[in-house]
Structure 1
């Protein structure tokens, strides 16, 4: 680390490492190569931010200049290089640096934070580095809400300022502990700033050890740059929630070291933190990561150690691929003509996003493939279900990607390698009832996605609506019609509702029966209606009647149309138009409603359209 010019170092990924990443088998050395590249990238971003802030008048407001903060950071690095290197590689520093660079160049999303406060994170970073290095210093730093954060260490509680979110505190160390002060209010950091003290909230840690392999990561609920949307107010987890996180983390670490030792080794090397977010639902753990914050995983608290273990694998796959793309272009910059179907998302995705998904879910599938062999009873059924579902969905998405021109030669090699791996798992035996449920979930998601996001040709729809209203036959063979086009609908959500219910029935039939008796199941499983419970129970007649009744009240409801289609799928009517072109039935039905003021029965309209449409059309 130097005062003015970061220097340049070329990073190359050796062939063996890329081959290992493509196969999902990257080891510790390959992760170290990503970390080395990330370190260089981080230093270049810091240097670019320093130069850009120098050129922006008033960028630091009433704070000292960026050069003042930078000088302290350099001094700290000279005194304690390992500690400061570790600080600079924390995910929040990457996320902050990328965000503020975009803001300085007019490319960041709108934020209520004043520029000086965002640039001033550099000052807080310097104060944290000096504290770690044991240097005497004084530095003005931003206060956000009622917390003055020293990155990676914690935050000092400051007095409220009324409606003003942003303020300034003074951090200081003079032959003693670091203090943070606003006027007469002083918070003294403890001798070890990673401990709590009066007025000081430390960044908590998650630590675990199994089979002589340990892991120690941050559990950050304080830093303003911990989340994907920045900046974010601190939201301290209650002690009971932290205890539960630690319990789950310890169990998940033991599980991974027992069943996925190679994955555990790389996680210990490259995972830096978990950022807790809102509580998710059962079987719906929320998790996310971003390219700017290598090593960070946002996650809602899962219900079981298995859910946490698979969440860590899922997000670390994203982290690895983001790091890999620092070194190798996998997709061209230009997006394709339209977004693509992702079998695990409510929304359409570009090729780059779908590539991220297949890489993550290849790891998920591998996890469940191994996990299912070590369980018995309902838990084994659930693991078999997850394996059967994700091997199918991941290979389906890989097949889509293989047709995409956006992939580079490296990207194509990665996709082809993963495709071969996933294809080899497709014939592995899974209990028949579980396999049937997983295959139905895959069909259900595809139908639901088509209903939300595909739009047939408008002229065709209008012509069909007129023919129906006049009592005529279908005016042309629909097989000659081009495919529907993708028009992303932001209202789409809960496309996995019936799949969640299927999981519940497998692993907790008593709770499933209780939920089936509940007239408002959506309060527990978002998106669920009583007809969904009937469908998953196998009562297709009752479910179909309920879906159709709902479609009288809500003619344009994709969830109910998809449910009715799945009832037909359950009866073995695989040629039905609702299974292959549900968006056409929906669009024509809506056009008839607009023209005639009333809607036909879904079954009647589907029977009228069906004979003119081959099952594989569109």
Structure 2
């Protein structure tokens, strides 16, 4: 059972902060929920009718589960680095949904085939010798956190022994890969390892830049407003990501030491997205999109920010969603309904109360980040850019605080969070942006309000 957050920790989270201990509690609770999800999946497969999960498939799932348990016994930390990979969450949810249906679906068969690849990846990470048979779909076999290999459809035999992985397909030559420390060295052009970015802080794990996992976006597309689709990266694109990433730790630190801490604790993988259509040059605020998925704790989906500063801002923004979603899972913050009826100056469509709260917290964090960047900037251009971003985010938060503060559906914990958010808003105003920046920000939010009313009616302003 996850220990309860103290009021001090809750107030810090309401200020968009949180120390390593508080963030660790949120992460621990999410990890526990992942293990519960996997156990529920196993139970659902055992209890599903034969029409949904035939006996042969059920037997195969039990074998995969046994391999998973053996890997966990061999090296718990290594095996669980696979089980806790963010993109295992969407896969598990999809499995549970399919097993609860009245009849089998093609997606369920694909999902359950992936269980074998998951178990194999855990066993490889644990460096445990084994042999298993896996099914290839879509021309590639993906081993979560490790990589993917291009091979023909059907079944392949995978053997791992003495640190060497051998994949045998009767129609092709064997694929031989020797996993290395912190990644995989390529021994065959058909094998493509998961690329990783260096750790943000010494002693932390590298950050996977996962453009291979089949569950990295929702089925049928990203499933988020304004997000582009997932992409596969070539060597040039990976070099671009690495170039932007190289300065992220310094930019996070400049935005406050807590920003680097939250990224080091919470960020578990990045999922690269294509630039938004018509976005122009990468790196400008309009040339970028990003998002998170509640079921993929620790994953940030993003097109490539062109500068370390915007990359850091993306993490600041999205990791607030990660924190607040994890906090909400641990303790309810409100009892408001799901109706989408509120004005949010960062979106053209009406938002439910929860979305309004999520957006206010993330934009308040951005306002603080950009303010620190502005106050520390040496060059006029950098300072003006930071003040512009700060003023806009600060004005956006102020536009929705009355709705949040006036809610009668807040729980005690939710009231603490909202009160701290209000305190943060006023504290940021003590070091205001120059007058021109504030005036433009007010005009921006005012225009957004008029356009929103024209599109959506009166709603809840």
TM-score if structure 1 supplies the norm length?
0.67
Tell me the distance in 2 between the aligned counterparts of 1:187 and 1:405.
61
1:126 is matched with which residue?
119
Tell me the distance in 2 between the aligned counterparts of 1:81 and 1:214.
18
Aligned pairs (5 A) from 1:13-412: 13-56=5-48, 57=50, 58-59=52-53, 65-106=60-101, 113-159=106-152, 161=153, 167-175=154-162, 177-185=164-172, 186-192=174-180, 194-198=184-188, 199-208=190-199, 216-229=206-219, 235-280=231-276, 281=279, 282-284=284-286, 285-332=288-335, 334-336=337-339, 338-375=340-377, 376-412=379-415
**C-alpha spacing 1:386/1:152, structure 2 compared with 1 (3 Å):** same
**Offset at 1:184?**
3.1
**Offset at 1:438?**
1.6
Tell me the distance in 2 between the aligned counterparts of 1:485 and 1:435.
26
Tell me the distance in 1 between the aligned counterparts of 2:55 and 2:368.
51
Tell me the distance in 1 between the aligned counterparts of 2:323 and 2:139.
35
Aligned pairs (5 A) from 1:428-447: 428-447=431-450
**Offset at 1:294?**
0.9
Q: Structure 1 stretch 281-290 or stretch 58-67: which is displaced more? A: 58-67
Number of residues of Structure 1 aligned to a counterpart in Structure 2: 440
Q: Which runs of 5+ in 1 are unaligned?
A: 1-8, 162-166, 455-483, 487-617
Paired residue secondary structure (1:436): helix
CA displacement, residues 236-288 of structure 1 (integer Å, 9 cap, x when unaligned): 20111111111111112222224422210221122101100011433122101
CA displacement, residues 340-373 of structure 1 (integer Å, 9 cap, x when unaligned): 1111112111111111111111111110110111
**Offset at 1:81?**
0.7
1:556 is matched with which residue?
none
**C-alpha spacing 1:377/1:447, structure 2 compared with 1 (3 Å):** same
Tell me the distance in 2 between the aligned counterparts of 1:485 and 1:102.
34
Paired residue secondary structure (1:26): coil
Tell me the distance in 2 between the aligned counterparts of 1:392 and 1:294.
29
CA contact (8 A) 2:259 2:316 kept: yes
Aligned pairs (5 A) from 1:446-457: 446-454=449-457
Paired residue secondary structure (1:25): coil
CA contact (8 A) 1:392 1:426 kept: no
Aligned pairs (5 A) from 1:531-570: none
**C-alpha spacing 1:449/1:66, structure 2 compared with 1 (3 Å):** same
Paired residue secondary structure (1:343): coil
Tell me the distance in 2 between the aligned counterparts of 1:203 and 1:113.
27
CA displacement, residues 153-174 of structure 1 (integer Å, 9 cap, x when unaligned): 1111113x5xxxxx44332224
Tell me the distance in 1 between the aligned counterparts of 2:54 and 2:256.
48
Aligned pairs (5 A) from 1:389-538: 389-426=392-429, 428-454=431-457, 484-485=458-459
Tell me the distance in 1 between the aligned counterparts of 2:298 and 2:306.
23
Paired residue secondary structure (1:331): coil
Q: Structure 1 stretch 342-351 or stretch 58-67: which is displaced more? A: 58-67
CA contact (8 A) 1:351 1:406 kept: no
CA contact (8 A) 1:399 1:419 kept: no
CA contact (8 A) 2:211 2:231 kept: yes
Tell me the distance in 1 between the aligned counterparts of 2:38 and 2:175.
29
**Offset at 1:485?**
4.3
**C-alpha spacing 1:374/1:82, structure 2 compared with 1 (3 Å):** same
Tell me the distance in 2 between the aligned counterparts of 1:94 and 1:335.
23
Tell me the distance in 2 between the aligned counterparts of 1:319 and 1:121.
26
Tell me the distance in 2 between the aligned counterparts of 1:402 and 1:92.
35
Structure 2 residue corresponding to 1:12, chosen from 4, 24, 27: 4
Tell me the distance in 1 between the aligned counterparts of 2:6 and 2:430.
34
**C-alpha spacing 1:106/1:13, structure 2 compared with 1 (3 Å):** farther
Paired residue secondary structure (1:138): strand
Paired residue secondary structure (1:65): helix
Tell me the distance in 1 between the aligned counterparts of 2:258 and 2:300.
19
Higher RCO (CA-CA < 8 Å; seq separation 6+):
2
Q: Structure 1 stretch 188-197 or stretch 407-416: which is displaced more? A: 188-197
Q: Structure 1 stretch 201-210 or stretch 342-351: which is displaced more? A: 201-210
1:517 is matched with which residue?
none
TM-score if structure 2 supplies the norm length?
0.88
CA displacement, residues 415-436 of structure 1 (integer Å, 9 cap, x when unaligned): 1210121023235332232222
CA contact (8 A) 2:86 2:268 kept: yes
Tell me the distance in 2 between the aligned counterparts of 1:274 and 1:266.
15
Query: What's the Cα RMSD here?
Result: 2.6
Tell me the distance in 2 between the aligned counterparts of 1:214 and 1:138.
32
